Amino acid sequence: MDSFDIFKKLSVGAKFKKPEKIAINHEDDKSSAKQVKVKTVGDRVPEALSTFDMMKKAYSLSPILMENLIKSGYTVPTPIQTQAIPVMLQKRQIFACAPTGSGKTAAFLVPIIHHLNKPLNKGFRALIVSPTRELAKQTLRYLLHRNTTTTTVEQDLVFVGNEEGKLIAMRDLVKKGLSPPVLIFLQSKERAKELFSELIYDGINVDVIHADRTQQQRDNTVKAFREGKIWVLICTELMGRGIDFKGVNLVINYDFPSSAISYIHRIGRTGRAGRSGKAVTFFTNDDKPMLRSIATVMRDSGCPVPDYMLEMKRLHKNTRRKLEKQSIDRNEIRSKPHRYNK
């Protein structure tokens, strides 16, 4: 099947008409209609967007999605967005073509995010096919950034100096009072076990899920966490990704995330469905090379971030990829003479 065959399948039932230009009135220039070179064919072509605000009025777009668009710097729709977004918001098929940098990614992601509505534990609900790995990663970053409910998540970066400082900071959070349920992320199963040993020694209502536990053990632990029998759950990012946690009040990044995408995945466990939440991220001197990327995500979501973090040197692409793939070699989490392994 070639591209023409695919196009024919996508356009079944459409009666093609003569291409037309769409006149769009921009709010900043109401005196004259600006001609945007968009050619459309098909039946019942919806009205083109003149402003993003039209989506809220005509299609009841999510307030959070609208807010994220505005905070990301979107003011006036690009030509491809003026027509593609309304078509997809009506759940209609579309075959579109536009040059690089014309806003195609937002043109199809905004409707997809709108229709998905909210996270559900139902497997994959949307499929985006990209011609290259780089474009696929770029689309994923865009999607995660635009759809994070960061307006409801209070985000803090806490400098702890070194690995010993993390345990002190963790116990300080406990002394101040945790509001369960709480999720704690670590970079490996070994470190998850070590932190579990420390916290259970302190008498905290805590459990852990990692790859060495059986599926039944993991299922029972997650069930107990959801039912409120477990207040604090320790896990690795890999274990936590496939589980739909609801109502999490606090996410603690005990180990610094390896990338901005990883950070967004983790803090996305709290602040869901309009509820407020909090995310605390510990960082040491060893984590400073990746600090700028996380600080940028926080800044873009409206959280206060020290200027020095944003002014740090940008990592070369190859260096960043290497750091994302290779975990930092960290000291063992240990301060007590007695251990309890699970």
Nearest in space to 280 (alpha carbons), one of 267, 296, 293: 267
Residue 276 pLDDT > 50: yes
Looking at 123, 146, 169, the residue that finishes a domain is: 146
3-state secondary structure of 162: coil
Confidence of residue 17 (pLDDT cuts 50, 70, 90): very low
The pLDDT, as a whole number, for residue 242 is 58
Which domain range does residue 267 map to?
A: 149-325
The pLDDT, as a whole number, for residue 103 is 84
Confidence of residue 15 (pLDDT cuts 50, 70, 90): very low
Inter-residue contact 223 to 195 (CB < 8 Å): no
Examine residue 203 and state whether it is found in any structural domain, yes or no.
yes
**pLDDT tens across 78-124, in order?**
888 988 999 999 989 888 888 767 888 888 888 888 888 766 656 67
| Judgement on whether residues 50 and 176 belong to the same structural domain of the protein | no
Give mean pLDDT, residues 313-335: 83
| Judgement on whether residues 42 and 54 belong to the same structural domain of the protein | yes
Confidence of residue 237 (pLDDT cuts 50, 70, 90): confident
| Judgement on whether residues 188 and 292 belong to the same structural domain of the protein | yes
Higher pLDDT, 276 or 84: 84
| Judgement on whether residues 290 and 166 belong to the same structural domain of the protein | yes
| Judgement on whether residues 106 and 141 belong to the same structural domain of the protein | yes
pTM of the model: 0.62
Share of the chain above pLDDT 90, in %: 28
| Judgement on whether residues 189 and 298 belong to the same structural domain of the protein | yes
| Residues β-bridged to residue 154 | 278
Looking at 112, 146, 180, the residue that finishes a domain is: 146
Higher pLDDT, 131 or 235: 235
Examine residue 336 and state whether it is found in any structural domain, yes or no.
no
- The DSSP output letter for 152 is G
| Judgement on whether residues 199 and 286 belong to the same structural domain of the protein | yes
Residue 165 sits in a domain whose CATH number is: 3.40.50.300
Confidence of residue 165 (pLDDT cuts 50, 70, 90): very high
Task: Please return the burial class of 129, using the count of CB atoms within 10 Å of its CB with bins 0-12, 13-18 and 19+.
Answer: exposed
Examine residue 334 and state whether it is found in any structural domain, yes or no.
no
Confidence of residue 337 (pLDDT cuts 50, 70, 90): low
The pLDDT, as a whole number, for residue 16 is 30
Sequence-ordered list of residues with C-beta below 8 angstroms from that of 332, at least 6 positions apart, any chain: 194
| Judgement on whether residues 85 and 184 belong to the same structural domain of the protein | no
Examine residue 119 and state whether it is found in any structural domain, yes or no.
yes
Tokens 């930092």 found at = 328
Count of the separate structural domains present in the chain: 2
Examine residue 82 and state whether it is found in any structural domain, yes or no.
yes
Q: What strand order describes the sheet that includes 206-209?
A: 153-161, 277-284, 250-253, 182-186, 232-236, 206-209
Tokens 């777009």 found at = 61
| Judgement on whether residues 114 and 101 belong to the same structural domain of the protein | yes
Cα 342 to its chain centre, rounded Å, is: 31
The pLDDT, as a whole number, for residue 99 is 74
**How long, in residues, is the chain?**
342
Residue 7 pLDDT > 80: no
Task: Please return the burial class of 233, using the count of CB atoms within 10 Å of its CB with bins 0-12, 13-18 and 19+.
Answer: buried
| Judgement on whether residues 140 and 213 belong to the same structural domain of the protein | no
Examine residue 240 and state whether it is found in any structural domain, yes or no.
yes
Nearest in space to 40 (alpha carbons), one of 1, 5, 75, 92: 92
Give mean pLDDT, residues 73-80: 85
Average pLDDT, the chain: 79
Examine residue 340 and state whether it is found in any structural domain, yes or no.
no
Give mean pLDDT, residues 249-254: 95
Report the distance separating Cα 78 and Cα 96, nearest Å: 14
| Judgement on whether residues 134 and 166 belong to the same structural domain of the protein | no
**pLDDT tens across 45-72, in order?**
888 888 888 888 888 887 878 877 877 7
| Judgement on whether residues 154 and 48 belong to the same structural domain of the protein | no
161: enclosing H helix or E strand: strand 153-161
Give mean pLDDT, residues 134-140: 74
Examine residue 332 and state whether it is found in any structural domain, yes or no.
no
